[in-house]
Amino acid sequence: MSVYDLSALNKRFAIANQLEFKEGPGGLTVAEVTNAHAAATIALQGGTVMTFQPRGQEPVLWLSKFAKFVPGKSIRGGNPVCWPWFGPHPTDANMPTHGFARTIPWEVHRSEVLAGGKTQISLKLVENDTTKAQWPHSSEVQIIITTGPELRVELITRNTGETSFLIGDAFHTYFQVSDIRQVSIHGLEGCPFLDRLDQSKRNIQEGPVMISAETDRIYLSATSDCLIEDLKLKRRIRIAKKGSRSTVVWNPWIEKAAKMGDFGENGYLGMVCVETANAAEDVVRILPGGEHRLQATFSVEPLP
């Protein structure tokens, strides 16, 4: 059952012909954005952008047809938010992988129409006793989602306490591709990476990233744009970022996808995660009164 009052949300934050709050799959409350540029669906649970599709184009984000929309569980696809750590907790294996931000309700803070007809919605993380036990630091967390010709997501962490703390954060973004075997990822050439399938062994990326097996890599000191070139769809997805020093590339391939249970048969062929992140040795220290902004912009370009 939803924890949100749809009538109250629409009365306060809906925008005629642009933004409406509805009951989504599994009863989760979603914000539906439809404007002259694109359509997007945002789950208030986790602040997850589930879908983004520019007008007249194929979807940019991949959402599994077998995704499980369950309260307290992350969604398989879209743009889940990893916070306040990435991957396993650094000291406690009992803590949830990738933190708790992607599985708990977020509160709508504001909505507005920007110049050019873009739609922006701002959400704030809602703390509870469980999250406070896992993250005993005074902080405020906000995500700003702007839907236009491109999709822009910005995660803001503010330190409201008197001591500094370290965070790892990421947009665990699933991108839709025609066939991962015919896709190349550019922008990581020459970057060192940790191979999480080989005891985090350090390697150097030579040439574009090509995927033909299970892949799980953290690219370090990776601040450049990434480009997903898709020959079959004749497009390039550009991932521009700010406040990020890591890029994670992930595809579960055959065996792991089958074990997960929410990919479906051959679902792994239609997606790749290229994640805008601060992970491993690239975690961020935020001083008292300071803030950190993680921003990613996803846009589509035709192949030359």
Q: Which residues are catalytic?
A: 172, 275
How many beta carbons lie within 10 A of that of residue 4, not counting itself? 18
Query: Which structure tokens are listed for 88?
Result: 């396993």
State whether residue 1 is helix, strand or coil: coil
State whether residue 117 is helix, strand or coil: helix
d(CA 191, CA 12): 46
Is omega for the bond preceding 84 within 30 degrees of 0, making it cis? Answer: yes
Helix (H) or strand (E) holding 9: helix 6-13
The residue behind tokens 């924890």 is 3
State whether residue 196 is helix, strand or coil: coil
d(CA 39, CA 131): 32
Phi-psi category of residue 240: left, alpha or beta, with phi > 0 → left and psi -120 to 50 → alpha:
beta
d(CA 27, CA 67): 13
The residue behind tokens 């033909």 is 212
